[in-house]
């Protein structure tokens, strides 16, 4: 049974309320997070470790990771310690401020998160097969507008 079972589309004569839409967005996010965490676990990572690794597109200061992950800096230290022990990340001093430690994904870390994302995409991406090209384009436009609106308020 689908994780999204029980959610029904509104009829043409009704328009869904904000709470219905937000519930659906939350359910979709939860389903994707579950697929991501399941894929991460197959690679020996917790969801938080994989999420941190996914943020490393270049050097990121420890404090910046805490902000991105919306958690305390002490939590980031523990996550980075475990990833570093596995050779997936390394700490290096920031060139402009040697007191700041940046976290960088190693080649092995980059490859690991690539595989996690690929597996997650196979699991989550199958749901998008329900749409034709035109429907995917419309959905993409709507989601971009939603994301832009959410980013503006933050």
What is the total residue count of the chain? 154
What mean pLDDT is predicted for residues 51-69?
93
Report the pLDDT value the prediction gives residue 126, as an integer from 0 to 100.
83
Q: What is the mean pLDDT of residues 33-62?
A: 95
How much is the pLDDT for 150? 83
Q: Are 53 and 113 in contact (CB under 8 A)?
A: yes
pLDDT of residue 51: 95
The two three-digit tokens of residue 94, written as one number: 């920031």
Whole-number Å distance between alpha carbons of 102 and 30: 30
Q: Which percentage of the chain shows pLDDT scores above 70?
A: 91
Percent with pLDDT over 90 in the chain: 66
Q: What is the value of pTM for the model shown?
A: 0.78
Please write the tens of the pLDDT for every residue from 94-144: 999 989 999 999 999 999 999 999 999 887 888 888 999 999 999 999 999
Mean pLDDT for the chain?
Answer: 89
pLDDT (0 to 100) of residue 154: 59
Q: Which two tokens stand for residue 57?
A: 């597109």
- CATH number for the 25-153 domain, one of 2.40.50.100, 3.10.20.440, 2.40.128.20, 1.10.10.10? 1.10.10.10
Domain ranges for the chain: 25-153
Residue 34 pLDDT > 50: yes
Distance of CA 99 to the CA centre of its chain: 29
Identify the residue whose tokens are 């969801």: 47
Q: For position 125, what pLDDT does the model report?
A: 82
């Amino acid at each position: 049974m689908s994780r999204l079972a029980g959610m029904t589309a509104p009829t043409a004569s009704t328009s869904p309320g904000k709470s219905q839409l937000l519930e659906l967005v939350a359910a979709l996010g939860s389903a994707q997070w579950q697929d991501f965490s399941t894929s991460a676990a197959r690679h020996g990572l917790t969801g938080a470790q994989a999420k941190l690794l996914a943020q490393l597109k270049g050097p990121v200061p420890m404090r910046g990771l805490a902000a991105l992950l919306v958690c305390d800096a002490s939590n980031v230290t523990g996550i980075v310690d475990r990833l570093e022990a596995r050779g997936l990340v390394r700490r290096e001093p920031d060139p402009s401020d040697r007191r700041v430690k940046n976290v960088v994904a190693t080649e092995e870390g980059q490859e690991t998160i690539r595989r996690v994302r690929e597996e997650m995409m196979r699991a989550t991406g199958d749901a998008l097969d329900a749409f034709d090209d035109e429907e995917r384009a419309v959905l993409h436009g709507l989601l971009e507008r939603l994301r832009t609106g959410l980013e503006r308020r933050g």
